[in-house]
Structure 1
């Protein structure tokens, strides 16, 4: 199962040393209640490397912390790259960790998507390319700290992104009467209630605050789509491609939202389905043939 294949790509804070509370910078905004320089511990970080307000983050003005996911990068850096070394007691280690953690986080996110890509393809040349890219990226996570710090992660992301684009095209090719692609589209606040987006590419689309109630997002490619404050109540995301837990956590949904089996319903979502939204497969306008 995909969830089992991604077991090592799931954050385990008990095996980390609070890196997400130290390395990134925070800017006071709707996502963070305070300014925090990069490399400086958040004042909420406790001596045991746990967050002191973890169960109150949204109420305390830190929703950005809730939606952050390192895809297991934290425990890899703590246990594998710097075993036995503590940034809290060694300034040199702290500087090195700050250089490595952002790179490792990019690698683990790529592994998250490549692991899914391997389940989407039949045997063939494209599947072989994906397996090779997965093995290469996994090997990079085991590199020494200086090699990781100097890695050209942007180029690697572009290369893997192009490969995942071809995987997406292949995986969506058999969707009947597929909705038109909206890759990279500016759909902020868009009225997409009940929209037919079945099999569409929404890769990198800006869907901030979009009304997607009851929308048909089955087998839609959502890699990198910005779903902050998007309303997914009653939407159908069954089989959606390259969707991550942080994307869901940044959105709003309810018990009527259908999700891929490998993702969990965010705790802040409504526990019951809302009133009929007039969308989804039942309520959409018939497509022209």
Structure 2
């Protein structure tokens, strides 16, 4: 569902990062449109319709492609452009169910739609853990991170029936604790970082133009419609931060910790916004 993106955020390349995350990027051509069926849609500023979980979106075509993909925002579906399955869709479609889709095998449908959101959570953890392994200041934790990465990967290969009993919420908590320790080690070198603790803060509409947020803890912060033009977000931990309609024009997010493409797709920005090499400028930033 995510917006098409173009070009790397900077001229730098990180071959290892790109290789490791290749399977963690949505490949809609090899998915059975699971996000368009399994999820609930509520009529709002994000979605033009109400849709129950398990019911195909009216825009889903017979080939499992979206009929209005290039016009999602204009047609009232901006929420679709900021959703990212982290590659869970193709994993469930091609591996867990061996290419057997829910239309040709209706008996698999209910279970498949339950497995997908669990797989999506596991793949999101894989994204964060893969990044954590690249962070040199957290080298002392790399052994734990690698073991957690391997275990998470193992869980993604479980048979469909096993997902029912998986306590994914509890597992996420364990991984989150490890990621927090990683974040603290990386941000430890930033002077004054303790004065920038905004974890879970309500910063909706905040005026943070050119703010020094280097090394800040913004985990789970609400930055909806915040003015972050020209802000310094280098080494800021933004895991779970809500950037919907935040203005990141000219902001520096190089080295931001645990930033995702979905967060960028939800925000506004411009060509001057600096991004980590693994992420890209959303196309709508040019409009």
Q: Is the 8 A contact 1:103 1:149 kept in 2?
A: no
Alpha carbons of structure 1 residues 238 and 123: separation in structure 2 relative to 1, 3 Å: closer
Gaps of 5+ in 1: 272-289
Count of aligned residue pairs for this structure pair: 271
Counting only pairs closer than 5 Å after superposition, residues 223-238 of structure 1 correspond to structure 2 as 223-238=239-254
User: C-alpha distance in 1, partners of 2:52/2:92?
Assistant: 20
Q: Is the 8 A contact 2:219 2:238 kept in 1?
A: yes
The equivalent residue for 1:250 is: 266
Q: Is the 8 A contact 2:207 2:226 kept in 1?
A: yes
The alignment status of 1:196 with 2:219, answered yes or no, reads no
The alignment status of 1:165 with 2:180, answered yes or no, reads yes
The equivalent residue for 1:61 is: 76
Counting only pairs closer than 5 Å after superposition, residues 40-55 of structure 1 correspond to structure 2 as 40-55=55-70
Q: Is the 8 A contact 2:138 2:186 kept in 1?
A: no
Which of 143, 162, 176 is equivalent to 1:128?
143
Which of 25, 47, 58 is equivalent to 1:10?
25
Q: Is the 8 A contact 2:37 2:54 kept in 1?
A: yes
What displacement does 1:149 show? 2.4
The alignment status of 1:31 with 2:46, answered yes or no, reads yes
Mean Cα displacement is larger for which, 37-46 or 82-91? 82-91
What displacement does 1:122 show? 5.8
1:39-97 residue CA offsets vs partner (Å, 9 max, x unmatched)? 00001000001000000000000001111110000000001100142201223200110
Mean Cα displacement is larger for which, 88-97 or 119-128? 119-128
1:222-274 residue CA offsets vs partner (Å, 9 max, x unmatched)? 00000000010111111100000000000000011111111000000037xxx
Bigger Rg, structure 1 or 2? 1
Higher RCO, 1 vs 2 (CA within 8 Å, ≥6 residues apart): 2
The alignment status of 1:183 with 2:199, answered yes or no, reads yes
User: C-alpha distance in 2, partners of 1:77/1:70?
Assistant: 11
User: C-alpha distance in 2, partners of 1:211/1:57?
Assistant: 25
What displacement does 1:125 show? 4.7
Gaps of 5+ in 2: 1-15
The equivalent residue for 2:87 is: 72
More helix by share: 2
The alignment status of 1:260 with 2:273, answered yes or no, reads no
User: C-alpha distance in 1, partners of 2:138/2:176?
Assistant: 20
